[in-house]
Amino acid sequence: MDRASAPFPARRVGSSTARLGLLLLLGICPAARAWDEATHVSIVRGACRLSPSAESRIRSDHRDAFFEAVAKADQIDPDCRAHRGPNARREAAREAERALAELTAGPLSRYDRARTFGRFLHYVADCSVPTPMAEGKYAMLPDFFSNKDFLIFRERQDLGAPLAVSLRQRGGEAQWGEESTGAHAAILRLAINLTIDAMLLLPQTGGAGVPADPPLVIFLVNRVDNGAFTRDSRLRVPWWNPDYSAPNIRSDLGGRAAVEVVEWRKRRSEGKAVARALLFNGTSGCATKIVLKTRSWLIPAPQIEMTPQTLRAVELETPPDVELEHLSASWTAGRCSTGGVFPSAIPTADRLMLEANGHPPQFEGAVSHVVPSKLVTPLPLGSRRDRNAH
Ligand SMILES: [Zn+2]
């Protein structure tokens, strides 16, 4: 996480031009529900895709029984309605700890081990859920996998003992900040990473030879036309609209040459607020002079520079009443001041491109390798390349 204490205060700008809304297309996708049975299975499949070493903890036999238990850990409450919240009958973190104890205590039949392992991972994923579910107000969130982009990558953080305490603490990160759709991608990523970290608590089953986890970023891309970046000429934003940007008319995340705000959320405290955002530099150059823009505020982030095709998580101080919906970024293509080395930057060269189509993803497909087309290694000023360029 890069912390940018902006030397310039965020400033309010005039009321924004009317923008196209999400149109009528919102209603087209069937309502996917978060952390329903299919989502539980999806989270484990995502964990396996991101981490072959985690997948090696699953035995090859009784896989159906394993995934059945992932989906329905609790026969009395198969819809997962009372695993979180003040009235939780089977509190997720405690149930996960109990399942792990069963897995490590004594000999289990292979079938029972598969079932218990699946139940374990179900309750682990229940520890990272959106706030309305964590508070027990809603069992499901409709449209969780619609109308937004997700970027999922490995963020390792070993789980400690006692496990229930560690799970509540890590899973509690999902409740950092106010509930917003901008937080949902981060919460799914947390659930998948928590699942991987939990799987790694168990010994691998395949013996030696498990490949190291690849540096993979899963792009789960919103391809529903939103009017701003559509391929459909009838829906295009006109040139005078602030959302108009020639390279960006044609594509979706992963294809746009732009700095994108993929996630955002905000926490208020003592008359101010802190915002966290995940930025993606989809351009082929270094992005400098980044400014985050809402409808009524400009939030400069001058310390944040981004090398091409990388992600950075940033934290910024913002005015308390700033509205982060419709957060976007402007930037200047330039030369990264540090020579383009940012330890916190996450490379996205190896990608699994999937569509956020309203359904929990299966995480299948081939990985593509992206090379920024005009990627230039920065040289010191006054070097040969600079002289040639002028
Ligand atoms: Zn559950």
Residue 15 DSSP one-character state: P
pLDDT at site 161: 93
Residues 268 and 136 in one domain: no
CA of 204 to the centre of ligand 1 (A): 25
| Contact status, residue 356 vs residue 148, Cβ threshold 8 Å | yes
Statement: residue 17 has pLDDT above 60 = no
| 80 Cα: distance to centroid of ligand 1 (angstroms) | 4
Could you tell me the CA-to-CA distances from 206 to 46, 50, 104, 173 in Å, in that order?
A: 19, 17, 17, 33
Task: Output the pLDDT for position 264.
Answer: 93
- Strand ranges for the chain from DSSP E: 2-4, 11-12, 150-153, 216-221, 259-269, 272-281, 286-293, 297-301, 310-318, 328-334, 346-347, 350-355, 368-369
Asked whether the whole model's pTM tops 0.75, one would answer: yes
Q: How far away, in angstroms, is 105 Cα from ligand 1 center?
A: 23
Domain of residue 20 covers 2-25+224-388
* d(C-alpha 154, C-alpha 281), whole Å: 18
Q: Does 30 fall in a domain?
A: no
Instruction: Read off the pLDDT of residues 240-286 as tens digits, 9 standing for 90 and up.
Output: 655 555 555 556 787 778 899 999 999 998 888 999 999 999 888 88
Evaluate if residue 380 carries a pLDDT over 80: no
Q: Tell me the pairing of strands 216-221 and 350-355.
A: parallel
> From the CA of 58, how far away is ligand 1's center (Å)?
20
Final residue in a domain of this structure, among 200, 216, 232 = 216
What's the pLDDT tens digit per position in 94-150?
999 999 999 999 799 999 999 999 999 999 999 999 998 898 887 778 788 988 899
Question: Whose CA is closest to 367, among 49, 90, 71?
Answer: 49
Tell me the pLDDT tens digit for each residue of 164-206.
Answer: 999 999 999 999 999 998 999 999 999 999 999 999 999 887 6
Last residue of a domain, one of 187, 216, 245: 216
CA 33–ligand 1 middle distance (angstroms): 13
- 376: pLDDT strictly greater than 50: no
Q: How many domains does the chain have?
A: 2
What is the average pLDDT value for the chain, to the nearest integer?
Answer: 81
Residue 38 C-beta-side C-alpha neighbours within 13 Å: 13
Instruction: Say whether both 212 and 303 belong to one domain.
Output: no
